[in-house]
A and B are shown apart, each in its own frame.
Chain A
C-alpha cells in the first residue's frame, strides 16, 4: 500500500479509538483530527459517528473542523467515508433532527417504521446483517456474497438518485446500507466492529485512495 495518511474526524461523536485500532491492524497510518491541520495533511478522511443527528451536526459545527472538511472534500476531492451516523450526516436532512445535514449526498434519513403487528422487526436494527453491494464496486472487492457487517441504527438513508446507492440490506424492507457519489462514500454499518470483512472494506477504501 502506498504511504498515505487517513484522518479520523474527532468531533466528540464517535468511537474513534476502534477505528484507529483497526487501521493500525491493516498497517494503515491514521491520525485523529480534532484540529484542521490534520485534515489539511490527510489523503483521505473517515467521518465516524454514533448517536443523534442534531447532536452530530451540532458537534461538527462546534468543532471548528467543518470549513476545512468541506473544502477538502468538496473542492479538493479528498475521499471521505462516513460511518453509521457519519453516513447519515452526508445526507441533506434527517427525520431525527431539525439541523440540515452536509448535503453531499442527495438523500434524507428516515426512521425504520414497522406496523405494531410486526413482532419480528425491532428498532434499533441491531446486529449482524448482510450487505448486497452493487457489482464491481472496489469498496466491496474481495467480499463473498452474504458478507455480514455489524449494524446498530434506527434511521437509514434514502437516496434521491438511485445511482448513489452502493449497497443495500434487508430489514423488513430493502434499505440503503452503502452510498457513493464521486469521492463521498458512506456505510451504515460499523466496519471497525465487523471483523474480517470490515477490515477488508477499510483496506479497500485506503487502497482506492492511493490510486
Chain B
C-alpha cells in the first residue's frame, strides 16, 4: 500500500537555510545539505527547498547547494522558487533535484509546464499554487504572496495538470504560519478537481491537522515551522498517524535505520 508522505519544507536564501531545525540545531542551521540530512535521518519521506533569494543572485548560488544536497540525500527532493525557464529546470534536475516546482513564471506563461514536462517527464514537474480564500472560492496569488492574479484556483490546477504538472503543491496563504490547520475545504475541492497527487501546505500545527489533510485526500503533507521549531518530531508524527490508521513509512529511516511501514 502506498504510504502517505511527510514533507518538511526548507526556505533557502543565498545558499543558506533561513529557519533552523529546533533551537538546539541553530548553530548549524545555515547549511541546506546538513539540515536535509537531519530530516532524512528523522524519517522525512521527501524534502522541499524553496529558494527565496533575490532573482539576481539566485541561479549562481543555487548550483552549489543543490549539488551538495543531492550528494547528501538518499530520498527525493524538490527545488522551487523563481524558476522561470526550461533551461533552469533542466539544470536543477541535472544537479540532482528529483522535481522542480513552478509558480509565478508558470502563471505568466503556462506553456512552461509543458516545456518542462516534455524534457523532464510529468513526474518531475510540480505546480506550486498559493491561494487566498474569496467569497466564491480561492484566488491564485503569485510573487511570494504579493500579487493577486484574478485566477480561480480550481481552474488553474486543472490547467496546470492538463499542461503537464504531475503534482500540486497547494498552499493556503490564509492558514500559512497560523498552525490552525490546513484549509480542509480547499483540499477537498482541489483533490476532486485533479487526478494527480496533491500536497497540502499552510497551517500544520498538530498531528490531527496532518491526519485531516490525508483524510481530505492529500497524498502528502508539507510542514515547516512545526518541524523547524521542534513542536513535533517526524518520528512521533508518524507514530501518531499510524495509530489513527493512516499508512506511513516508519521514521528514523537513515541508511542504517528502518524503512518499513508501521505494522
Q: Give residues in B with beta carbon < 8 Å to A.
A: 1-5, 40, 45, 70-71, 74-76, 93, 95-96, 98, 118-124, 166-167, 191-192, 195-198, 217, 219-220, 249, 253-261
Contacts of B197 in A (CB 8 A): 122, 124, 126-127
User: Smallest distance from the beta carbon of B114 to chain A beta carbons, Å?
Assistant: 12
Contact A196-B255, Cβ < 8 Å, known A51-B124, A127-B3, A144-B260: yes
The distance in angstroms between the C-alpha atoms of A21 and B75, with both chains bound, is 12
Q: Evaluate contact between B192 and A17: CB separation under 8 angstroms.
A: no
Chain A, 1-23, CB within 8 A of any chain B CB: 15, 17-18, 21-22
User: Which residue of B122, B195, B261 is within 8 Å of A130 (Cβ)?
Assistant: B261
Are A195 and B259 in contact, CB atoms less than 8 angstroms apart? yes
Q: Which residues of A contact B71 (CB under 8 A)?
A: 17, 21
Report A-chain residues with C-beta under 8 Å of the C-beta of B2: 125, 127-129, 151, 171
A123–B196 touching, CB < 8 Å: yes
**Complex contact A197–B259 (CB within 8 A):** yes
Across the two chains, which residue of chain B brings its CB closest to A13? Answer: B121
Report whether B3 and A193 are in contact in the complex, using a CB–CB cutoff of 8 Å: no
B93 to chain A, nearest CB (A): 7
A104 within 8 A of B: no
Give the B-binding residues of A (Cβ under 8 A).
15, 17-18, 21-22, 25, 50-52, 55, 85, 119, 122-130, 144, 146-148, 150-154, 170-171, 190, 192-199
CB distance from B6 to the nearest CB of A (A): 10
Q: How far is the CA of A15 from the CA of B75 in the complex (A)?
A: 13
- Whether the Cβ atoms of B196 and A150 lie closer than 8 Å is no
> A170–B259 Cα gap in the complex (Å)?
17
